[in-house]
Amino acid sequence: MNYLKVERRGDVAVVGLNRPDKRNAISDAFVEELALAVNEAEQTAKAGVIHGIGPHFCAGLDLAEHVKKTPFEGVHGSRRWHEVFAKIERGKMPWVSALHGAVVGGGLELAASTHVRVADETAFFALPEGQRGIFVGGGGSVRAARLMGVARMTDMMLTGRSVDARTAEQWNLVQYVVKEGCALDKAVELAAAAAGNAEISNYAIINALPRIQDMGSDEGLFFESFIASFTATSPEAEARLNAFLAKKAGKVKRPGESG
């Protein structure tokens, strides 16, 4: 692989975007390598982390490549992004993104396809497509808009506004903000925690929850009942529940509580 660096940390597959000279801009070849990395991770790991190598996470679409495409080629490229990013969002295992520097355009769209997002204090977020004469094409109109709301996304796209990590946290674009240089370690820690869950629970969480959000309340509650019953009757769930009842599993602690 030329554009990615993949390693393992226990049960966690760590995928590094490795095109630092282009601020990890996403080209067609980049997307195909990412697809292969995601598929491989699903076969060998229980959770994954995506991070950027170099000063930035990802500055978005490779505009030098995009400007040469016909409109039809552009549509096909966008649909391929949708396909690969959907494999992350609604695949077999949870993904955490570690964000620093530029999280811009397609970089924000990629981050939005992960399930948990950790930003360090250097991260900044923008959707400059309006200034480039284009529109988001990597799923941002669905995923990013649902995270921060249509009004905020409209503001960013119309005005070119960029926001820092703390604002991104307030807007629900990220769930954690850490000190500079600490995002990757925190992301691996969170991914490892998720990897320790029952596989069927993780699958239900990342696949059922977003679909329930797309349903009406009555339909969502009905669907929830079946998912809850199905997961609770798995052999792993039975073993974990019995371990808790036998006081062999820890209880939920207050934030900051040890022991």
Catalytic positions, written as ranges: 109, 129
- Closest alpha carbon to 99 in 161, 190, 210, 12: 190
Spatial separation of the C-alpha atoms in residues 220 and 239, rounded to whole Å: 28
Q: What are the CA-CA distances from residue 130 to residues 30, 75, 154, 182 (Å)?
A: 23, 18, 10, 32
> Tokens 């992350």 correspond to what residue?
88
Q: Which residues of 159-181 are buried (b: 16+ CB within 10 A; e: fewer)?
A: eeebbebebbbebebbebbbeee
Spatial separation of the C-alpha atoms in residues 103 and 32, rounded to whole Å: 20
If DSSP codes are grouped into helix, strand and coil, which group holds residue 139?
A: coil
